[in-house]
Amino acid sequence: MSSAERGSHHQVVAVLLSLVHCVQCMARSQLAPNQFMRKFCIYIPNQTDRLEMPSSVTLSMFVKMANYTILFLFSLIFLSSSHASVQDFCVADLIGPDSPAGYFCKNPAKVTVSDFVYSGLAKAGNTTNIIQAAVTPAFVAQFPGVNGLGLSLARLDLAPGGVIPFHTHPGASEVLIVLRGYITAGFVSSANSVYVKTLKKGDVMVFPQGLLHFQVNAAKIHAKAIVSFSSASPGLQILDFALFANDLPSSLVGKTTFLDPAQIKKLKGVLGGTG
């Protein structure tokens, strides 16, 4: 191999080492690729970085190999970047089935402004029930325009003595803002730490995704709040109903909750459970 070819080899190696170094810098920086590309990552190879190539490798072969390597490195960069949606919206086609990925998109030609407007939260919910409270949802099933947007809403109405029992939203975090009255709200962390606060009008509280939480009317007047979720379908599981509103055998309920049979029978009777 001539000295000119060897010099060209070293130049290409220097470029490759610089690219590898930049990829390593990007990984260490924990920045998104589009953010990282706005910064400069300069690398100057030293003598120990030189790669001696076998004399049987021609310059054209080496350049071709370098091109493939460069293409591979840049493919890694761009494939690892987040892909922004190229679709403005995906109004739910409620005729089709729901899935973990959401509903299918409604034909854009059939989308109207009504799909992006929901008036259901204007009216108070019916609180004449066992919990003396009502939740009026504006989830994707009621508000098709939120499909795919990662958000939804609900209205809480609590009569005096009303309570939203311990429950969890497996698919979303929740933010609550009090519009009227006083609400004692709280959640329990996975470490069993309890966070409780009595909120007044204008106060906001956040409930992290998946954690058990509750809301209780803390005054002798009706309370009202709006909650938002980080999912169009946040999901809901109420602890009391999960234990006592189904046919889970009372013997198993007793063993897992340490409640006596009389208490279990009473709660199952109140909530409609059997077994």
The whole-angstrom separation of Cα 20 and Cα 49 is 12
Give the DSSP H or E segment for 180. Answer: strand 174-180
Is 52 annotated among the ligand-binding residues?
no
β-strand partners of 207: 174
Residues 6 or more apart in contact with residue 57 via CB below 8 angstroms: 1
The whole-angstrom separation of Cα 29 and Cα 94 is 43
Q: Are 145 and 111 in contact (CB under 8 A)?
A: no
Residues 6 or more apart in contact with residue 210 via CB below 8 angstroms: 168, 169, 170
The whole-angstrom separation of Cα 157 and Cα 153 is 14
Q: Which residue has the tokens 């960069």?
A: 77
β-strand partners of 184: 198, 216
Degrees to nearest 5, angle at CA 89 with 83 and 90: 100
Burial class (CB in 10 A: 0-12, 13-18, 19+), 146: buried
Residue 227 φ then ψ, to 5°: -120, 145
- Helix, strand or coil for residue 207? strand
Report which DSSP code applies to 151: -
Is 169 annotated among the ligand-binding residues?
yes
Task: Cite the annotated binding site for Mn(2+) by residue number.
Answer: 167, 169, 174, 213
Task: Cite the annotated binding site by residue number.
Answer: 167, 169, 174, 213
Task: Cite the annotated binding site for oxalate by residue number.
Answer: 169, 174
